[in-house]
Amino acid sequence: MGPVIPVKRTLVVNVPASQIYAYLVDFENATEWDAGTVRCTRASGDGSVGTTYTNVSKFLGRETQLTYIVTALETDRLIAWTGENTSVISDDKITLTPSGTGTEVTYVAEFTFKGRARYVGPLLKPALDKLANNTQQTLRDALLRLR
């Protein structure tokens, strides 16, 4: 496997953590807040740890399918998923922290490319940063609609 390529974005919105958590814990909503997600459907489970989702994402003009598993949940504080296919593992984590009258939302994604993709993975950092910037904006827009 190749090196881990992290991206991290933080935003603050005037929305309670409980509302944000309730929205984000249903990963099917990723079509609304994740700039790369085209389709996301629950494959098994009830949304708790161990639930799997089939996620179709578009990256660099190409669609790819990943299977995501919910790996950690802390009510109103943390949601984590791991997505995987033949060329990448994506460990994603969203943390929610009270901030004034709103919530600080920190999104971290760590990409590990595997197979032949491990050789080009480090070259994809600018494209991953662009995707993270776009996701920061779509996430902000989606969360502000919750008010």
Its pTM stands at 0.95
Domains, the chain: 4-144 (3.30.530.20)
pLDDT at 146: 96
Instruction: Give, for 142, the enclosing helix (H) or strand (E).
Output: helix 125-144
Q: Note the pLDDT tens digit of each residue in 3-45.
A: 999 999 999 999 999 999 999 999 999 999 999 999 999 999 9
The answer to whether the CB of 79 falls within 8 A of the CB of 73 is yes
Element (H or E) spanning 67, and its range?
A: strand 62-74
